[in-house]
Amino acid sequence: LFATEAEKSVGLLELLMQEYDVLLMNPPYGGMTAKAKSYLRDYYERTHHDLYAAFIEQTVDLAKPGGFVGMLTSRTFMFLGMFQKVREEILWDDAVPKLLLDTGLGILDGATVETAATVIRKNVMAGLSSNPASQVCSFCRLDYFNTYIKELAFLESFMHYAHNGAHDLWYRVMLGELSKTPGISYYSYWASPSLRALFMQYPPLDRDVAKKPDQPKIADVKGGFRTLDDPRFIRCFWEVDTEIIGRGKKWVPFAKGGDYAKFYSDFGLLVNWENEGEEIRDYATLKGRSRSLDNEAFYFHEGLTHSYITTIGLIAGFGIRYLPPGIIFGHAERAIFSIRTDQLWAFLGLISARLFLIERLMLNPTRKWEAIDGANMPTVVEPSLRLELQAHEAYDILREINTANETSTVYIKPLILQVLHNYNPEEHPIMRHPFAEQFRWADWPSLRKIRSICWENIKKELKQDATAMQEIKPSLRLLAELAINREEETSKRIEELQKQIDEEVYRIYEISDEDRALIEKEIALRKGEVVGEAEPIEEEGLEEAADGAGVLTIDINQQVRNHVERLISFYVKQSVEEDPDGIVPFDESFEDNLLRRVRGKIARDFGEGQVGEIEGEIAEILGKSLGEWLLRDYFDFHVSLYKRRPIFWQLISSPIGRTKTPAFSCLVNYHKLTRDTIPKIQAFYLTKVKQRAEFEKDRLFVELEEARATKDAQKVRRLEKAYNTAASTFDELVNFEGIFATIHNPREDKTKLPANPKWVDQR
């Protein structure tokens, strides 16, 4: 390093050979070169996985017994599993933390790393008389404060803490208390001793993964497998022929992460499991990953599951939900299988409680929760019947509201039609998915109350009015508002059940009022809500930890619009699927084709005499006519609803603009695509449109020439504009016809692929 300055080189060597009373550092973060990785593996066995961890080990080594190290580092050493040796050996046997400021984001300019400012003291006699368990560390919590006021919050709170020995931002913790969580997994300084003690009082959820063989066996906690090529092996269920979905067939239901869901999830994905996953196994062998199908013995079993990546910070909780039989779970899931299947629903209630969330956060505060985290959860062996009933009710309520979701496996019809018609227990899902076949209506009092929000009951109330002499007809907006009321009543009941579950779990674990308050405050902090008592920091500009927090409200008109759009989408779905060849043109026959069919569906559900009124309401709610919405907005809505995996594809000759309408447009049903689809579009639809466009262009040309002969300038200008438009339309159709020919016919110049192309590229 100092090849030209030998004196400095020798001086540096001398510095590194001494021991010091105090060392300060802000080590580097991030990736390492191959040379650095090799060096660390040779000389820093305990910390070679991370450069800043090796710096911690080195500075402790340079400190005298009783000396201090001050460091500003990433905060990941506090909780990540890869730093366990740092916590259990270097910061336990060799040195102990005395002061830790949990500073979070915003400390290092331009860096997105979450930091901690820590003072550690080297033990006088490493691992012997120092007794780290009796050492005390002071923690200051600043991670939830606004970036610009962390320093002010620290200074103000420290003065109060120094004089009074207490402050809401400061925690004085004996290190032996932290060790009560498995493996000193996390410096959960904010938790109370009684919450930490639960890990000692109750057995772990999975004794095998937790490596506590002397404890009772309660459940198995397992991670799923990787396909190694998701686009090749995974589909949304609506992309696949329903005849080949189910165990023993090509495609089986697959649980793989996804959106946040608690108690109930639809599990709408499928994985290619033909011949017991033969193609996936062959591909894994080819890639040298033969262990990609770990835990296969648990596939298709009934259990519980949650996503590996959680939504902490946005939603207070992880989405534990029921895993029905007949599903394979992927690597993005963590599945739980109860040893006693009759306790499964009770465990769903237990694990969904806020107490379990807090215990999980004590083990791992990141968004990625490993199987080891779930396995270490302190668990009662016999959950109560009350938890079983509450969890089962929550599941049934959420599943029933999902029957109004067009992309659900248990879809029946949109919510507007569900509130329009009386509840009919004879109705069943229309999707022909294995979950649809398993569907059964539940009969909880809460569900009867939710179903009572319907047009029939509103109609009865209106009929009691003596002035109501004529037939009472429902308005579309009223039905949409009733649908919204159903959704709100569903959410309200789920919240009630969650509170009841929390109370029951608090009772079972004998959680004190103080700990309950701590749990509520901690969850609120992570949700970004303003909580707790006013801080004694009164400087102007100092804000709460939940800076910028607010309640997201959705405009009622937007909710009404969404329900109306889903109703129309349902009618379009039925209409397109009824079409024999799956080709529905958006041309001058549109009025006699798709629009006529949709109007027929409206007449079926609302009555022939109501079609005009319903169409008028649609125009009022959507801001455009039904026909215009179908032509301009339907496909975008469909693509969004089907998560960018549409079952109907719109083929258009030019982009849809505010003023320009494509010369040709049609919907094609993905499930009816054949080698004849493109020739049919050309022969029966596009050719007719092109012939009319050519005729119109030729007619206008003749009229234009005649106008030029008469030298009628005004007429010439008008006809020139019309002719140019007609010519442009004709050229657009000719070009579009050429694109069809390119797609349909084999190409002479094949695409050149790399030596080992991806499956998608090959397709």
> Taking the chain (763 residues) in consecutive chunks of 10 residues, what is each chunk's mean pLDDT?
68 82 90 92 93 95 95 92 88 94 88 91 68 90 87 93 92 89 75 94 94 94 91 95 94 89 95 94 84 82 89 61 95 92 96 93 81 90 95 98 97 97 93 92 97 93 63 90 97 97 97 96 78 38 33 74 98 95 83 88 95 96 94 94 96 80 92 93 93 95 93 92 95 94 80 84 81
pLDDT number for residue 492: 97
**Within a 13 Å sphere around the CA of 638, how many CA atoms are in the beta-carbon half?**
24
Closest residue by Cα to residue 219 from 376, 340, 384: 340
DSSP, res 71: E
pLDDT number for residue 163: 92
SS3 label, residue 193: helix
What would the two tokens of residue 200 be?
Answer: 């000692």
pLDDT number for residue 17: 80
Please say whether the beta carbons of 28 and 51 come within 8 A: yes
DSSP, res 132: G
pLDDT number for residue 332: 87
What would the two tokens of residue 665 be?
Answer: 């447009």
Q: Which residues have a Cβ under 8 Å from the Cβ of 532 and sit 6 or more positions away?
A: 168, 521
Strand blocks (E) in 241-295? 251-255, 269-272
Amino acid present at 363: L
**Within a 13 Å sphere around the CA of 574, how many CA atoms are in the beta-carbon half?**
18
SS3 label, residue 218: coil
For residue 525, report the phi and psi dihedrals to the nearest 5 degrees: -60, -45
pTM over 0.85: yes
Q: Which residues have a Cβ under 8 Å from the Cβ of 528 and sit 6 or more positions away?
A: 313, 546, 548, 549
- 671-685: b (≥16 Cβ within 10 Å) or e: eeeeeebbeebbeeb
Please say whether the beta carbons of 332 and 446 come within 8 A: no
pLDDT number for residue 743: 85
- Report how far residue 586's alpha carbon sits from residue 665's, in angstroms, rounded to the nearest whole number: 5
pLDDT number for residue 549: 34
Partners of residue 141 on adjacent β-strands: 102
pLDDT number for residue 184: 55
pLDDT number for residue 518: 94
- Report how far residue 727's alpha carbon sits from residue 295's, in angstroms, rounded to the nearest whole number: 65
